[in-house]
């Protein structure tokens, strides 16, 4: 624990913290920020990990990051190392990245390729489906290899998105309906024929909920995101009460072109409190994608896309991802908690797999706007955390027009914690 963590400890036991958390969530003012402990107390953080990150579906990465058999990437969900791997049949599976001998992690690189999974400690060897193949010659004769395969985690993919769930049983909450729509909405992009072109990993000294809250509103955009606002129109939906007529007219004209090409764009949401949503929104007039001047980022468009002005399709997955799918590249964002006041935000940019770096696209141009935006958001999140740690902090009101996305997020969060704590 760091010094801040110690300052915020206020429970003798985890059970006390659970009771305290339920009562804090029950008596919270719906349209107000949470009480400080929910953003900085280490016991509350542990409950977030147990009830949300170790039980709910999480976005981890894209199928095109691991195109061939034996390709893998690893991800840390709190202190749980997870391995996501393509097997010989082309299926993607997830395993706890911990050896069934004495628990060493098996893959310590963030990504790579293997024929089999060999634990570096005593060379126990597993196949790509997690079956234990070899445990040396020193185990006694009663040792049963079939009882020592890698522990699987739930893993599903659709439209190129990979989700894992570390819980014993995976929650439903219309998740399969969401996946079916992801397949439909992502079809034009042909994700299997894309490649990772750039990646950033940012360490932020802010509770994961502050990172999400910041992303769920554009109230701060005018004050902080000059690069993004060259192209982004801040309305997330045609129902947005703030959307002016010229935006609605622009949307109608763009949507007619998308319809002519069979590009899905209608707003859809799934699960409680719009836990998953997707919608395509136009960017500013005469801009194509989120570059500094709105011009193309890559000469090769994705999949079967012909129209460079596809706006951005936003895909939200609570608790840990938002995304922007455009005509010539798409960007995915993933948040993973580290401690009560630390998070890791990973951003990845994808282009057509045949696009050549330096010829069809320049990584610097591709990533510039969101590198700048992420840096600005990191500062905002960290300042938010510092102020919340003050004894002077008091829950404050959200704007119901600008910050409805946060209200939905916290409603989902509060209901999820309650549902899972009560089921315990």
Residues forming the site for ligand FES (CB under 6 A): 99, 101-104, 119, 121-122, 124
CB 336 to ligand 3BY: min, Å: 17
Considering the complex, state which of residue 220 and residue 353 has its C-beta at the smaller distance from ligand 3BY.
220
For 79, residues 6+ apart whose C-beta sits below 8 A from its C-beta are: none
When CB distances are held under 5 to 8 angstroms depending on the partner's kind, the choice from ligand FES, ligand 3BY, Fe ion, none that residue 197 binds is: none
| Locus of tokens 């109608």 | 252
Q: Does 322 bind ligand 3BY (CB under 6 A)?
A: yes
Q: Does 376 bind ligand 3BY (CB under 6 A)?
A: no
* 350 vs 45: CA distance, rounded Å: 32
Considering the complex, state which of residue 54 and residue 231 has its C-beta at the smaller distance from ligand 3BY.
231
* 390 vs 325: CA distance, rounded Å: 39
CB 333 to ligand 3BY: min, Å: 7
When CB distances are held under 5 to 8 angstroms depending on the partner's kind, the choice from Fe ion, ligand 3BY, ligand FES, none that residue 322 binds is: ligand 3BY
Helices 404-423 and 208-215 cross at an angle (nearest 10°) of 140
Number of residues that bind ligand 3BY (CB under 6 A): 6
* 295 vs 288: CA distance, rounded Å: 6
Q: Does 377 bind Fe ion (CB under 5 A)?
A: yes
When CB distances are held under 5 to 8 angstroms depending on the partner's kind, the choice from ligand FES, ligand 3BY, Fe ion, none that residue 101 binds is: ligand FES
Give the residue from 138, 109, 104 showing the smallest Cα distance to 119: 104
Give the residue from 380, 394, 335, 331 showing the smallest Cα distance to 218: 380
| CB of 113 closer than 8 Å to CB of 70 | yes
CB 82 to ligand FES: min, Å: 17
For Fe ion, which stretch binds (CB under 5 A), given 38-46, 180-188, 314-322, 377-385? 377-385
Q: Select from 40, 93, 194, 215 the one that contacts ligand 3BY (CB under 6 A).
A: 215
Phi–psi pair at 58, nearest 5 degrees? -125, 145
Phi–psi pair at 219, nearest 5 degrees? -60, -35
CB 135 to ligand FES: min, Å: 8
Residue of this chain nearest to ligand 3BY (CB atom): 218
When CB distances are held under 5 to 8 angstroms depending on the partner's kind, the choice from ligand 3BY, ligand FES, Fe ion, none that residue 213 binds is: none
* 117 vs 127: CA distance, rounded Å: 6
Cα-trace Rg, the chain:
22
CB 374 to Fe ion: min, Å: 8
CA angle 365, 370, 371 (to 5 degrees): 80
Q: Select from 105, 202, 221, 421 the one that contacts ligand 3BY (CB under 6 A).
A: 221
């Amino acid at each position: 624990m760091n010094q801040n963590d110690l300052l915020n400890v206020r429970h003798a036991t985890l059970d006390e913290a659970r009771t305290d958390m339920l009562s804090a969530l029950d008596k919270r003012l719906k349209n107000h920020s949470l009480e400080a402990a929910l953003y900085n107390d280490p016991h509350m953080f542990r409950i977030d990990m147990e009830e949300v990150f170790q039980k709910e579906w999480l976005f981890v990465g894209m199928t095109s990051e691991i195109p061939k058999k034996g390709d893998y990437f690893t991800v840390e969900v709190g202190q749980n190392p997870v391995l996501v791997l393509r097997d010989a049949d082309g299926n993607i599976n997830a395993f706890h990245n911990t050896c069934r001998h004495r628990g060493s992690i098996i893959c310590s690189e963030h990504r790579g390729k293997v024929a089999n999974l060999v634990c570096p400690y005593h060379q126990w060897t597993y196949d790509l489906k997690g079956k234990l193949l070899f445990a040396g010659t020193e185990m006694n004769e009663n040792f049963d290899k079939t009882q020592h395969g890698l522990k699987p985690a739930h893993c599903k993919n659709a439209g190129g998105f990979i989700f894992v769930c570390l819980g014993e049983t995976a929650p439903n909450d219309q998740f399969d309906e969401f996946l079916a729509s992801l397949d439909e909405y992502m079809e034009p992009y042909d994700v299997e024929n894309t490649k990772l072109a750039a990646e950033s990993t940012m360490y932020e000294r802010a509770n994961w909920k502050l990172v999400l809250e910041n992303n769920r509103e554009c109230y701060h955009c005018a004050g902080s995101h000059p690069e993004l606002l060259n192209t982004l129109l801040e309305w997330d939906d045609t129902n947005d009460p703030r959307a002016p007529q010229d935006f609605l007219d622009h949307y109608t004209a763009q949507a007619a072109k998308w319809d002519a090409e069979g590009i899905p764009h209608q707003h859809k949401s799934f699960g409680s409190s719009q836990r998953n949503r997707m919608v395509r929104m136009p960017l500013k007039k005469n801009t194509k994608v989120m570059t500094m001047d709105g011009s193309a980022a890559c000469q090769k468009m994705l999949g079967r896309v012909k129209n460079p002005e596809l706006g951005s399709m936003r895909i939200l997955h609570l608790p840990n991802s938002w995304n922007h799918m455009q005509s010539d590249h798409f960007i995915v964002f993933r948040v993973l908690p580290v401690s009560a006041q630390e998070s890791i935000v990973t951003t990845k940019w994808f282009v057509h797999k045949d696009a050549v770096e330096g010829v069809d696209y320049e990584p610097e141009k591709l990533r510039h706007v969101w590198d700048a935006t992420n840096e600005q958001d990191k500062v905002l999140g960290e300042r938010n955390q510092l102020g919340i740690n003050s004894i002077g902090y008091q829950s404050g009101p959200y704007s119901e027009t600008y910050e409805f996305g946060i209200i939905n997020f916290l409603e989902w969060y509060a209901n999820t914690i309650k549902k899972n704590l009560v089921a315990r």
